[in-house]
Amino acid sequence: MDSVILRFAPSPTGHLHIGGARTALFNWLYARNQGGKFILRIEDTDQVRSTKESIDAILESMTWLGLDWDEGPIYQTDRLSLYREHVHRLLQAGKAYPCYCSPEELEEKRRKAFKEKRKPKYDGRCRNLQAPLPDRTPAIRFKAPQQGVTILRDLIKGAIEFENAELDDLIIQRRDGWPTYNFSAVVDDATMSITHVIRGDDHVNNTPRQILLYEALGYPLPQFAHVPMILGADKTRLSKRHGATSVMAYKEMGYLPQALVNYLVRLGWSYGDQEVFSQQELVEKFSLENVGKSAAVFNTEKLLWLNGLYIRQEKPETLAELLLPFLESRGLKPRSMAWLGEVVKTLQERSKTLVEMTDQAEFYFRDDFPTDGKAAAKHLTPNIKEPLEMLSAKMNLSSELDEKGLEEIFKEIVTQKGLKLGAIAQAVRVALTGKAASPGIYEVMKILGREEVLKRLSRAVNKL
């Protein structure tokens, strides 16, 4: 048996968002650090909101982030008989009871409680019924203790006490026979022998109810660790208004998965002053002791900086593979992957995302790029026409068109015409790229190749 068993249990009612991704990451890292097992469980009992599309998006996001699972995905909809068996066990032990109150009656009680400024707690009307009510299908409620305290001993937050009198008899099985979240989660975690439950602290108030269910069913408690929320820059809970919050949206925006993983783990966890970690380092160094107690603030600028760092450090051939789908989405086709690798080398230091790299790479692929009017007016002037014609002629005659050979040609023209190197270099840059800023002009010319360079120079000369 594994020493520790952890799980990530998303509800497939939408895409995997940043908060959920961090929860998955913390569970995965702790399991890997401890040499344990990581289980992926899909909590799909919400029949109305759960979709196949969301399940696929969650699996794709997990795979893209590199969070592999040892078991699963396990679907709750395949385990209904297990939940009903546990409901029956509690009914037989007198620890659960049928509740015949209709949804309308419960809603009316809830409204009345709010109006009277009372906590909307179930009043226990059906708790001691002696006989079933005809013509009504009951829900099943857990008979929670009404006195004493339940203590959550949290690995991050410490001990938290809950008065049992404040906890009502929660529904564990709806009238349609489907289990509720708190009950199915407990049954799953118990029967899967989950040792540690790491999740967001929005689940803290669910935990005392779950502890009571564990005890009623006779299962040992896992250790709980509730991670503080992620906030937006305005210190409110992270949401869509703070920008892209789904994992795959960041992939589409040109972020690298290792950069997002590195950034997410630092939202709430620290290891001294170290900011950048390889996956192996994260696995070796991760611990719950270093998870903070206060909320983390999502900083898009810091993520962008980190992504740029990872792009600069990545192998050009690897980036070329990652860049390919972005290019293809714009109808841009590289001459070869080796050629694309050379293009990438010129852009790595200048790009913070793959989308930005794609933007900057467009001139390599097509000659119908827009030209910066100010740059053209400044650098493509009549007096530069003859030097550009000389450059074309010398390029036609030269057998060596590597960067060193091109540099020699430029020096010859500068010497003959009494120009500054910058004057002709900038004119050539605008002619070849449409911009006043680009990678090194000799690199650009070499990658474009003789034929393409001559074509673009000729077009520029003809406009002068």
Q: What is the CA radius of gyration of the chain?
A: 32
Buried b (16+ CB within 10 A) or exposed e, 136-171: eebbbbbbbeeeeebebebebbeebebeeeebbbbb
Contact 241, 292 (CB under 8 A): no
Residue 262 to residue 276: CA distance in whole angstroms: 7
| DSSP H or E run through 462 | helix 450-463
Q: Are 384 and 427 in contact (CB under 8 A)?
A: yes
DSSP 269: B
Q: Can the peptide bond before residue 73 be classed as cis, meaning omega within 30 degrees of 0?
A: yes
Beta strands per DSSP E along 223-372: 223-227, 230-231, 296-297
Per the listing, tokens 């669910």 go with 206
Please give the Cα distance from 48 to 80 (Å, whole number): 16
How many whole angstroms separate alpha carbon 208 and alpha carbon 265?
27
Strand partners, 278: none
CB 192 within 8 A of CB 4: no
Output the CA torsion sign for 55, 60, 65, 71. Answer: positive
CA 403, CA 63: separation in Å to the nearest integer?
A: 41
Q: Among all chains, which residue has been given the structure tokens 């002709």?
A: 424
Q: How far is CA 90 from the centre of its chain?
A: 39
Cα dihedral 315, 321, 323, 325 in deg (nearest 10): -170
Q: How many C-beta atoms lie closer than 10 Å to residue 355's C-beta? A: 16
Give the active site residues: 240
Mind giving me the DSSP string for 185-249?
Answer: HHHHHHHTT--EEEEEGGGGGGHHHHHHHHHHHTPPPPEEEEEPPEE-TTSSBP-GGGS--BHHH
Cβ contacts of 426 within 8 Å, gap of 6 or more? 375, 378, 379, 436
Tokens, residue 149: 């305290």
8 Å CB contact between 114 and 76: no
Question: Is 95:212 a contact under the CB 8 Å cutoff?
Answer: no
